[in-house]
Amino acid sequence: MKILCISDRTEPMLHGPSLNHYASGVDAVISCGDLDFNYLEYIITFLGAPVYYVLGNHDPSPDSKVRPEGCIPLDGEVVDIGGVVVAGLSGSRLYSGGPNQYTERQMNLRAWALSMKIRWRKLLGRPAPSVFVSHSPAFGLGDREDPPHMGFRSFLRLMDRFEPDLWVHGHVHLYGPDQERQRIEKYAKTKLMNVYGHKFLEV
């Protein structure tokens, strides 16, 4: 399956007449947050592939009536995307009191709730997620030392518990000529990828 992952920055090649040629063959789109909802709606309308999303710290609250039309929320959910099981968690560290910001304790409770959902699925004979999607990175894996961009320790526990093949996130902007090197981290059996801007993945 070919997945287009997007996050944090509107890309001109994805928001114009070249979209269908540039993203040819994409089966699904995953947004890791902090993107204008009009951008997501443009992609789903003109590319035709389903768009799944988590929310970033600059996005509206999940309680808001504002949401990207036709797109599928991943926050706290486990979904099967063409045979690939994906789980998601929105949000960043609490730093200003805005929407989609959480303390480590709050995110730990949200991660626990997601874990219970995954365990219940396993009792029913359904597979655990092979891909996790978040806005923020895990602690110590592609995050930063400043409070807004510090990752969550609870994500490490999710990786310890379920050993997904892949974890994709955004939130941390990449700069300079070595952006591709900055994208990738490794934790036990899990490959972590910062999809800032956009990244095509085969899963």
CATH for 2-202, options being 3.60.21.10, 3.50.50.60, 3.30.230.10, 3.10.450.50: 3.60.21.10
CA 170, 198, 185 angle in degrees (round to 5)?
50
Tokens of 79: 């979904």
pLDDT per position as a tens digit, 159-199:
999 999 999 999 999 988 888 888 999 999 999 999 999 99
User: DSSP states of 141-190 as a string?
Assistant: BS--SSGGG--BHHHHHHHHHH--SEEEE--S---STTHHHHHEEEETTE
On average, the pLDDT of the chain sits at: 96
pLDDT at residue number 176 = 82
Tokens of 17: 């007449």
Q: Smallest Cα–Cα separation from 132: which of 117, 148, 147, 150? A: 117
pLDDT per position as a tens digit, 95-107:
999 999 999 999 9
pLDDT per position as a tens digit, 40-49:
999 999 999 9
Tokens of 86: 């994906």
Write down the domain spans for the chain. 2-202
Q: Smallest Cα–Cα separation from 137: which of 178, 196, 63, 198? A: 196
Q: Name the phi and psi angles at 116, rounded to 5.
A: -65, -40
